Structure formats: structure tokens, C-alpha cells
Structure 1
Amino acid sequence: MTDPILDVRGISKSFGALKASNDVSLDLRDGEIHALIGPNGAGKSTLIQQIAGGLRPDTGTIWFDGVNITAESTVARARRGLGRTFQISSLAMEFTVLQNVMLGALGRRGGAFRFFSPVMKDRTMLETAYAALAQVGLEDFASATTAELSHGQRRQLEVAVALTLSPRVFLMDEPMAGLGTEGSHRLMDFLGTLRHRAPILLVEHDMDAVFYLADRISVLVYGQIIATGTADEIRANREVRTAYLGEEEDA
């Protein structure tokens, strides 16, 4: 078995008396989708923020490709290849699709937004942006205003923004949120192919998507991982069925 590219070891994070992360360990390996599920308030967003660099854990370490990145900034982690998409879209709706990809690449590289106009003429960055759009199937929408895109296309655009940094790992926070059945199925197919470009740590409430996509699933309840396994193992786990999937134990 290969070493994990992302390895979270025993991280904890408290806010006063609330322990949002309690000795959490999980990892992500090349070519896989590892889903993180749990009820609302379980600490999933707090955990993702710690992995992405928005929050510093109180204890524990985060390793990326063999390097301890626990103290690194969000930008530094992005430069290493940690790509993130958000539960709530961070796209600029009034900008074109191409401008969003260019703006995202500039911001994640630590560029100053006052230099945005000259960057739009940078041939190398334009080629990178168009290549990213082609990879997600949005090359024909480059000049469209982002507000014109469907919800699913905006999710794909967020992936294109992340692709400009040639990510080694994707962190995805509820990409299916707000999608109808058809949009969810299209995005599920897209993510199924994307895993071969970079593995995905997926936070998702859509259990159909989780069980369809995930190679492994970790269940977070009250800040603790209570189980990790395949879809079949998680379905059969009595503690998970009681704590999260809403089933009562047999009398």
C-alpha cells in the first residue's frame, strides 16, 4: 500500500468548552475518494478548515506529501497542490467564466488584485486558464458571465479554478448542495473521473453520492471519527447506523 498523500494525525480543536475536533486522524491516498460524513454540527467544516489552513489545530499534525504543513498558510498549502472547493460558492458572479479562473489563480498564488488587468493579457496564464476550462468541459463558456451558468456548471468552474494550480489533492465541501437529481448525477460522473487526476477528500450530505463515489468513508460525530471503512462496512456498522444513519439498534 502506498503512503498517503494527505495524512491527518490526531488533531484537536476547541472553542471554549466545545471540542470541535477531538483527536481526529484520517488519510487520503492517490486515486481515491475518501468521503467525510456526519450530522450537522459534527465538526466537518472545522476539520476541513484545519486541513486547508484557515484554522490552526490546538494539537496534532497535518502532513502533505511527506511534509508537515500544520503551521503553513492557506496560500502556501495551495501552492503545494491542495485545491479546495467551497460549500458556498466563492465565485464572482458578475465576472466572466475566464475572469474567475484567472482571478482565482492570481489570488491563490498570492498575487495582488490591482494587477488583475495586466494578468488578463498574460499568455502563459491564459493558456493555463483555458486548459483548466477544457478539462472540466467549460471551454465554450469562457466569455459567458458566471451568473449565466447552471449550479452544476458553477461547481465545475470552481474545480477549474483549483486546477490552475495543478492540485495534488482536492478538498470538496458539499459539491452536490443545491443540485437536482440530474445535476447530481452529472457531477457524480465528473468526480468519478476527476479522482484519477487528483484524489478527493469529499464532505457530502448526499448519501447516494457518497455510497456511489467513495472508496472509503469516515464518519464524524461530535468531533470524533467513530468509523472508517468501505461503503458496505459503513452500512453494516451498528454504531454508525445508530449515531448517524438514524436507525435504532435491535432490541
Structure 2
Amino acid sequence: MTEALLQTRAICKSFGALEASKDVTLDLRPGEIHALIGPNGAGKSTLIAQISGALRPDSGRVIFDGQDVTALTTTQRARAGLGRTFQISALPMEFTVLQNAVLGALGQRGRAFRFFGNVMRDKALLARAEEALDQVGLAEFRNFVTAELSHGQRRQLEVAVALTLQPKAFLMDEPMAGLGAEGSHRLTGFLDELRHRAPILLVEHDMDAVFALADRISVLVYGQVIATGTADEIKADPRVREAYLGEEDAA
């Protein structure tokens, strides 16, 4: 078995009497897409926040690239190679596509910017940003204001910004959210190629995309992983059908 690049080990997190994560253990292996699914309120976003460093677990550990990163901040984990995209875009809409990508490249250096004009003349930063935009197919849109992009293109730009950090793995929280059928189809193809650059832990409600993309799927219900397996194994699991897929079938 290929050694995991990212692991959670018995992660627990409570908010008062609510147990949002209950002994969650899962992993992400090189070259794969591991999808995390579950009904609303299952604890998916809370788990992703703990993996990314936005939340500290009450107990358990997060291991990334052989290092215990449980005590590291979000920024420290990003610099270690853990890239993240968000359900709600955090891109500055007034910046150009290239400016957003340059900001990502600047973050890889671990520096804040004071004089943006000077940053935009940094040849090394520009080269890294241009390369990332080319990789996601946005090079021709480099001078567009981000607000002018389609929703799907903004998702691609988020990935480009993450790519400037030279990530070893991606955390993606509902990248298909707000996309129509055509946009979801294009993004599915893009993510299918991206896995070869860095594996992806994917939180997603679009089950067509999940079943098309995921090498493995973990199902989270009431903060617990009730099953992990291939798409066919998950579809056939009676616990999953009762707890989650049955809801989808009935909708």
C-alpha cells in the first residue's frame, strides 16, 4: 500500500454538547482523489478546518508529509505544502487575475506586501504566477479583473493561487458549489488531471462528480466516518444508503 501523504488520527472536536468530530481517522495517498461526503451538519467543514489549521482538535493528530502538524497554523501548513480552496471564494474581486496569482506566489515566500507596484515588477514572482495561470488554463485572462470571471473560472483561479505555493496536497471544500452542469463537467475534468500534480481531499455534494472522480470515498455522519471505500462499495453499503444516499434518492 502506498504510504499516505496526509492523515488524521482519532480527531475529536466538540462544541459544548455537540460532538462535531468523533475519532475521525482517514488518509490521503499520492495521486488520488479521496472524497468526503455526508449530509448537512455531518461535520465535514469542521474536519477540513482542523486539517487546514483553522481549528485545533480537542484530541487526535494531523500528520502531513511525515510531520505532526497539529500545532501548526494555517499559514505554516500552507508553506509546508497543504493547499486549500474554499466553498466561498476569498479572492479579492477588484484585483486582476495576475495580481491574485502574484499574491499567492508572494505568500510562498512568507512575506507580506507593502508596495504592490514593486511586487508586480518582481520577475521571479511574475514567472511563478504566469506558470500557475497557464497550468489552469487562465493565461489569456491574466489582465481581466477577477470580478469579470465566470464562477468556474474563479474556481480555477483559486487553484492557480494554491499552485503558486507549490502544494503537495489539496483540500477542496465544495468546488462545484454554484456551478451549472456544464461548469461542473469542465471542473471535473480539470480536477481529474490535477490529481497527478497533487492528491486532493475533496468535500463535495455533487454526487455525479464524486462518483466520477473519487478513488476512495469516506462517509461522515454525525461526526463519525461510517464507511470508506470505492464508489461501488459506497453505493452498495446499506449503512450509507440509510444514512445519506437514501436521502439523495428520495429528494
Q: Give the TM-score category using the shorter length.
A: over 0.9
Equivalent position SS for 2:61 = strand
Aligned partner of 2:90: which letter? S
Counterpart of 1:153 in structure 2 is 153
Q: What does residue 75 of structure 1 align with?
A: 75
Q: Is residue 234 of structure 2 the alignment partner of residue 231 of structure 1? A: no
Specify the alignment match of 1:90 in structure 2.
Answer: 90
Name the residue aligned to 2:133: 133
Task: Tell me the C-alpha RMSD between the 2 structures.
Answer: 1.2
Equivalent position SS for 2:89: coil
Residue of structure 1 equivalent to 2:43: 43
1:58-107 per-position Cα deviation (integer Å, ceiling 9, x unaligned)? 10001011110000011111111100000000111111000111123334
Counterpart residue identity of residue 216, structure 2: R
- Residue in 1 aligned with 2:217? 217
Q: What is the alpha-carbon distance in structure 2 between the residues aligned to residue 210 and residue 121 of structure 1?
A: 41
Tell me the SS of whatever aligns to 1:78: helix
User: Structure 2: 5+ residue runs without aligned partners?
Assistant: none
Residue 183 (structure 2) aligns with: 183
Between the aligned partners of 1:146 and 1:128, the Cα distance in structure 2 is 18
Q: Distance in 2 between matches of 1:95 and 1:5?
A: 34
Q: Deviation of residue 108 (structure 1)?
A: 5.7
Structure-1 separation of matches of 2:108 and 2:90: 13
CA contact (8 A) 1:75 1:109 kept: no
SS at match of 1:3: coil
- Normalising by structure 2, report the TM-score: 0.96
Amino acid at match of 2:181: T
SS of the residue corresponding to residue 113 of structure 1 reads coil
Unaligned runs of 5+ in 1: none
Q: Which residue does 1:104 correspond to in 2? A: 104
> Counterpart amino acid of 1:228?
T
Asked if 1 retains the 8 angstrom alpha-carbon contact of 2:106 and 2:125, the reply is: no
Partner in structure 1 of residue 168 of structure 2 = 168
Q: Indicate the residue corresponding to 2:124 in structure 1.
A: 124
The DSSP-based 3-state class of the residue aligned with 1:79 is helix
> Which stretches of structure 1, 4 residues or longer, exceed 6 Å deviation after superposition?
none
Alignment partner, residue 14 of structure 1: 14
1:69–1:77: 8 Å Cα contact kept in structure 2?
yes
**What are the Cα deviations for residues 142-184 of structure 1, in whole angstroms up to 9, with x where unaligned?**
0001111111110000000000011100000000000011110
The aligned amino acid for 2:246 is: G
How many Å apart are 1:238 and its aligned residue? 0.3
CA contact (8 A) 1:103 1:116 kept: no
Q: Distance in 1 between matches of 2:62 and 2:153?
A: 32
* Structure 1 residue matching 2:182: 3-state secondary structure: helix
For 1:163, give the aligned amino acid. L
Q: Which residue is 1:114 aligned to?
A: 114
Q: Which amino acid aligns with 1:159?
A: V
Q: Which amino acid aligns with 1:111?
A: R
**Count of aligned positions:** 248
Task: Show the counterpart of 2:58.
Answer: 58
- Measure how far apart 1:119 and its partner are: 1.3
Q: Per-residue displacement from partner, 1:30-52 (whole Å, max 9, x unpaired)?
A: 00000000011100000000000
Cα deviation, residue 109, structure 1:
4.6
Task: Say whether the 8 Å CA contact 1:75–1:108 is kept in structure 2.
Answer: no
Shift, 1:246, TM fit:
2.0
Q: Distance in 2 between matches of 1:228 and 1:212?
A: 16
Distance 2:215 2:169 in 1: 15
Q: 1:166 is matched by which residue type in structure 2?
A: Q
Query: Percent same amino acid among aligned pairs?
Result: 74
- With normalisation by structure 1, the TM-score equals 0.96
User: Does the 8 A contact of 2:44 with 2:220 survive in 1?
Assistant: yes
Displacement of 1:247: 5.8
